[in-house]
Chain A
Amino acid sequence: MATTQQEVYGKVRDVLVDALGVDADEVVADAQLVSDLGAESIDFLDIAFRLEKAFGIKIEQGELFPDNVLNDPKYVADGKITDVGLAELRKRLPHANLQQLETSRKVDDFSSVFTVDALVRFVQSKLAIAT
């Protein structure tokens, strides 16, 4: 039986509560993992591992949080994401809302794309492929 969005959200919330030590009521759809929930770089790996276990899915390194894109001079110039970089992020992060990043283009704003909602969409897309 297909997993409903509410079921996915519930498991994602549990993962974030365990991985980040936050309260369940802080895990709202538009909460940003870094600025709102206090995630640090190692937490992204922790979250990926826990999502794999919770949903029985396989997440390749960099699939959920492609941190290597912003280290590539092809994609970043003077602290701003280039057109090519933005196109790459759209391709690599179809689950994320890049609106804020598209406006500012600032590398420092990159973490804003990682929201609870983006995680839920990511998991749903993985589950859809698996079935």
Chain B
Amino acid sequence: MRWIWIDRIIELTARRRCVAIKNISLAEDVLHDHFPAGPHQPAQPVMPNTLIIEGMAQTAGLLVGHARQFREKVILAKISRARFLLPAVPGYTLRYTAVLDRIDDAGAATTGTVELIDPARGSTDLLGEIDLMFSHIDRNRKGLSFPDHNFVFTDQFISLLRQSGIALDQGAA
């Protein structure tokens, strides 16, 4: 199964910020199971906010992992804040911007914004704000043990970085 909710990294400044984009496509099955409607919104296929959070977690998680050259197993530990202003509809592009607020041996905190880009008009609107916390789980195991290999940053993520032109050895702390 491919569990990757970003299409391309367009910027990765080590230990500072990571920007990624995702194109929302009607070809994605998940949109055909999710038709929210509201007083001012007719029923339409919409990317679920939970998956938008996952996209931010992947963007910010890569930033956190990159900061220590992917030696740490970086796990999403807490959604500190998530606020959504617009529906994420097909035919548009999401732009995730994650900023590294703090990192230490135990984990990291990030803040982030999600923008909705309309390719037809070239306009960009703020879709949401998502702040996250990550745990370096080998440092917080408390009696638990985890596999030696880094099961978080799979080949899918490493390939994504390479395809985006990101050098893997830029993140030395």
Contacts and interface: CB of A to CB of B under 8 A. Distances in A.
B81 to A, nearest CB: 8
Nearest to B135: A42
Interface in A7-56: 18-19, 41-43, 45-46, 49, 52-53
Interface size class on chain B is 10 to 19
Contact of A61 (B80, B106, B142): B106
Contact of A53 (B78, B101, B143): B101
Interface string B74-112: 000110110000000000000000000110111101000
A43 B78 contact: yes
A67 interface: yes
Contacts, number: 34
B109 A46 contact: yes
Query: Interface on chain A toward B: helix, strand, loop, or mixed SS?
Result: helix
A45 B101 contact: no
A71 interface: yes
B133 interface: yes
A71 B78 contact: no
B80 A19 contact: yes
Given A19-B80, A46-B78, A71 B143 contact: yes
A43 to B, nearest CB: 7
A46 B142 contact: no
Contacts of A52: 102
B140 interface: yes
B106 A46 contact: no
A49 B135 contact: no
Among B81, B104, B106, the most chain A Cβ lie within 10 Å of the Cβ of B106
Interface string A51-84: 0110000000100000100010000000000000
Contact of A46 (B104, B133, B140): B133
Among A41, A46, A53, the most chain B Cβ lie within 10 Å of the Cβ of A46
Contacts of A43: 78
A71 B139 CA distance: 13
Interface of B: 77-78, 80-81, 101-102, 104-107, 109, 133, 135, 140, 142-143
24 contacts: A18-B80, A19-B80, A41-B140, A41-B142, A42-B77, A42-B78, A42-B107, A42-B133, A43-B78, A45-B106, A45-B109, A45-B133, A45-B135, A46-B78, A46-B80, A46-B133, A49-B102, A49-B133, A52-B102, A53-B102, A61-B104, A67-B142, A71-B142, A71-B143
Interface of A: 18-19, 41-43, 45-46, 49, 52-53, 61, 67, 71
